[in-house]
Amino acid sequence: MNPDRCREGLTEEIYATRRAYDLVKKGVPFREAYRAVARADRER
């Protein structure tokens, strides 16, 4: 295992589902939450 390559792979995109689920917990339907997270990622 290469620690440097592992760190390179830790980008915010890998947490997109987690961010969507956090919105779902707040009452946002999953489909809308997923789209909101995807939109936010594209705008970065």
Question: Mean pLDDT in each 10-residue stretch from start to end of the chain (44 residues)?
Answer: 91 89 97 95 85
pLDDT of residue 9: 86
pLDDT of residue 30: 96
pLDDT of residue 11: 84
- Alpha-carbon distance of 17 to 33, in angstroms, equals 9
- Alpha-carbon distance of 27 to 38, in angstroms, equals 18
Looking at the chain, list the stretches that DSSP marks H as alpha helix, in order from N- to C-terminal side: 3-9, 16-25, 30-43
pLDDT of residue 23: 97
Domain ranges for the chain, please list them. Answer: 12-43
pLDDT of residue 16: 92
